[in-house]
A and B are shown apart, each in its own frame.
Chain A
Amino acid sequence: MKHRNLSRSWHLVKPGTNALLSVMFALLGLLTFLPVLLVIIISFSSDSSIAENGYSFFPSSWSLDAYRYVWKSIDYIGHSFLLSIVVMVLGTLLSLWLISTMAYVLSRRDFKLKKIYTALILIPMFFGGGLAASYVVNTQLFGLKNSIFALLLPPACSSWYIIIMRTYFRKNIPVELYDAAEMDGAGPVRIFFRIVLPLSKPILITVGLFQAFAYWNSWYYAMLYISPNHKELYPLQYVLYSIQRNIEFMATNENISGAVVMELPAETFRMAMVALTIAPILVTYPFFRKFFVKGILTGAIKE
């Protein structure tokens, strides 16, 4: 087939129109990527070039000073990088556990409490206590202030993902399979681990990826629950937020200041931190695109 890579639209518009559209979308894509590119270029610019010309796509001289400074303060930055990864991994696993079990329970049409459970999951999609109420409950009742659990627990579950996963289970796992397993004496817990989970890898990966990215990008819970005297609990995103407010954050941090003699290249250092924070996303995201697209579609098209 000659046109295997072509969409079926090849006979719908003229080649000229297609060429025009190609150029337009190429430019639009470039425009979308430009801000990311600019920050990466700034992080490799020399401080003198920025003092002279400001931020620019074409710096007059390049430099690795920003990254050298990052390397020198690796004790602290490495620590928060590691914390972000730990929170991401633990959080994603916790999320998948909470979401998949509930989704499975709701997907069982024969479950006696199905109606009550469904209501319980749906109500929070419409109504909530609000920030102040959550805040006092989390800090005064659960003592989450300055605890790593404040970063892990509140974003762990989502009614939306439960519903998406429930729909997937219902559509892809035939009821006969449950019946047969029960005939063999398997209980619902065993069925969940032996049959449902192995048959649901695509949706687990999709939801897991969305949650992993959400945890990696999370700064809000750190802002709410981690106070400045617990800098060891700052995830990378929140370190970035803090040095946006105040570059002195780096210089006054006792974990770093003693070790670093080099002068802080403030402008480029910030952008190097940004580049390092988005690097894992830039590198992994294109490979996962198919799963994300699938996730968006499952969310968009209810079946």
Chain B
Amino acid sequence: MKKKKWKRSDSGLTLLSLPTLMWYLAFCYLPMFGIVIAFKQYRLIPGKGFIYSLFMGGKWIGFENFRFLFLNPQMAMVVRNTLFYNILFLIIDTLLPVALAILLSYLYSEQQKGIFQTVSMLPHFLSWVIVSYLLFAFLSTDRGLLNSLIVRSGGTAVKWYQEPSVWPRILLITHTWKAYGYAIVMYSAYITAIDPTLYDSALVDGASVWQRVRYITLPLLRPVIIVLLLLNLGHILNTDFGLFYQVTRNSGSILSATETIDVYIYKALLEQTNYGYSAAASLLQNGIGCFLLLASNYIVKKIDPEEGIL
């Protein structure tokens, strides 16, 4: 194969791409070198600059940071929480929106569909700080709506932000509330794209609603569902920091039920200023995540060559 020659238009295109290229170098690729922090006791040497400090300053300690993480019982809890919530969310995020999108497709009125989609997608556009306030209106110990209802019906008020056992449910509801509308809109698009004549011929054959869903809609949605599941599997160690830090108000007494890897990484860095632990945990999360993502992407491609990220 002959090599293409460098053309004038290539220079123009390179020029056009320079700012974005610089952004990628600065905010994606330079931090990748920063990973060496995971293998040393990093500190900034005053007057020597960052690059010098990064490689020359601090002691190289090999895998000491990782050893600490593996021996730390808190880390086991954090990983357990991360996996627990992600698997739970994976199941709910698939079942609920698919079911609701199918039901929604049976509504007569397009206007009603539109209104429901608009309202259900709204939470997606609210920040976690806002969501944290919305939840507080329900969960506040002395003013919250939930406790008002409990007290009025003869119960005793619950200190929600100090009760670990209720948080898996609260986080599941909050997460679902924020995410389900967006997923419905997406699945609705796939359902609308299904060839209507399939339903018509099934109708002629006397198929019931359930049979049409079971033998037409679901099989046609299956590839999409599998692809999304697999891609999400690649993110099984990543959690939404806002949900687990902001919505829980970083309350200390419920950490056993709410602390995930991302919260740990943040706290190790900014509350304990331990760069090493934070970087080591990030590297583990990223390394395993990268492997899982590539693996799931590979499987997705096997199933359907058109899909996948790469």
Let me know if B6 and A112 touch, CB within 8 A: yes
**Chain A hits for B32, CB < 8 A:** 127-129, 133
Asked if B94 is an interface residue, CB under 8 A from chain A, the answer is no
Find B137's partner among A8, A35, A101 (CB 8 Å cutoff): A35
Stretch in A75-83, A149-157, A199-207 touching the partner: A149-157
Please report the C-alpha to C-alpha distance between residue A110 and residue B147 in the assembled complex, in whole angstroms: 65
Whole-angstrom distance between the Cβ of A53 and the nearest chain B Cβ: 7
Interface string of B224-240 (1 = CB under 8 A from A): 00000000000000000
Asked if A9 is an interface residue, CB under 8 A from chain B, the answer is yes
User: Which B residue sits closest to A51, measured CB to CB?
Assistant: B143
Let me know if A7 and B107 touch, CB within 8 A: yes
Asked if B70 is an interface residue, CB under 8 A from chain A, the answer is no
Asked whether A6 and B109 contact (CB < 8 A) given A54-B142, A244-B129, the answer is yes
Whole-angstrom distance between the Cβ of A30 and the nearest chain B Cβ: 8
**Chain A hits for B38, CB < 8 A:** 132
Whole-angstrom distance between the Cβ of B66 and the nearest chain A Cβ: 13
User: Which A residue sits closest to B18, measured CB to CB?
Assistant: A101
Stretch in A21-29, A63-71, A249-257 touching the partner: A21-29
Please report the C-alpha to C-alpha distance between residue A110 and residue B137 in the assembled complex, in whole angstroms: 57
Asked if B285 is an interface residue, CB under 8 A from chain A, the answer is yes
Asked whether A301 and B137 contact (CB < 8 A) given A5-B111, A129-B282, A130-B279, the answer is no
Let me know if B35 and A133 touch, CB within 8 A: yes
Let me know if B290 and A126 touch, CB within 8 A: yes
Please report the C-alpha to C-alpha distance between residue A179 and residue B53 in the assembled complex, in whole angstroms: 51
Let me know if B19 and A39 touch, CB within 8 A: no
User: Which A residue sits closest to B181, measured CB to CB?
Assistant: A32
Let me know if A244 and B10 touch, CB within 8 A: no
**Chain B hits for A278, CB < 8 A:** 126, 130
Let me know if B182 and A296 touch, CB within 8 A: yes
Please report the C-alpha to C-alpha distance between residue A137 and residue B118 in the assembled complex, in whole angstroms: 40
Please report the C-alpha to C-alpha distance between residue A133 and residue B8 in the assembled complex, in whole angstroms: 38
Whole-angstrom distance between the Cβ of B258 and the nearest chain A Cβ: 17
Stretch in A85-93, A168-176, A218-226 touching the partner: A218-226
Let me know if B126 and A217 touch, CB within 8 A: yes
Let me know if B37 and A25 touch, CB within 8 A: no
Find B309's partner among A6, A26, A122 (CB 8 Å cutoff): A122
**Chain A hits for B136, CB < 8 A:** 244
Asked if B156 is an interface residue, CB under 8 A from chain A, the answer is no
Interface string of B1-24 (1 = CB under 8 A from A): 000101111101111110111011
Let me know if A35 and B120 touch, CB within 8 A: no
Binding site for A on B (CB under 8 A): 4, 6-10, 12-17, 19-21, 23-24, 26-35, 37-38, 42, 44, 50-51, 53-54, 100, 103-123, 125-130, 132-138, 140, 142-145, 147-148, 177, 181-182, 185-186, 189-190, 193, 196, 199, 203, 209, 212, 241-242, 246, 249, 265-266, 268-270, 275, 278-279, 281-283, 285-287, 290, 293-294, 306-307, 309-310
16 A-B pairs (CB sep. < 8 Å):
A5-B109, A12-B203, A18-B108, A32-B123, A36-B122, A54-B144, A54-B145, A108-B13, A111-B13, A126-B293, A130-B34, A130-B282, A131-B269, A132-B278, A137-B50, A301-B190
| Known A129-B30, A244-B133, A274-B134; further 9 A-B contacts with Cβ < 8 A | A9-B106, A21-B104, A98-B23, A108-B9, A113-B13, A126-B290, A217-B126, A271-B137, A292-B121
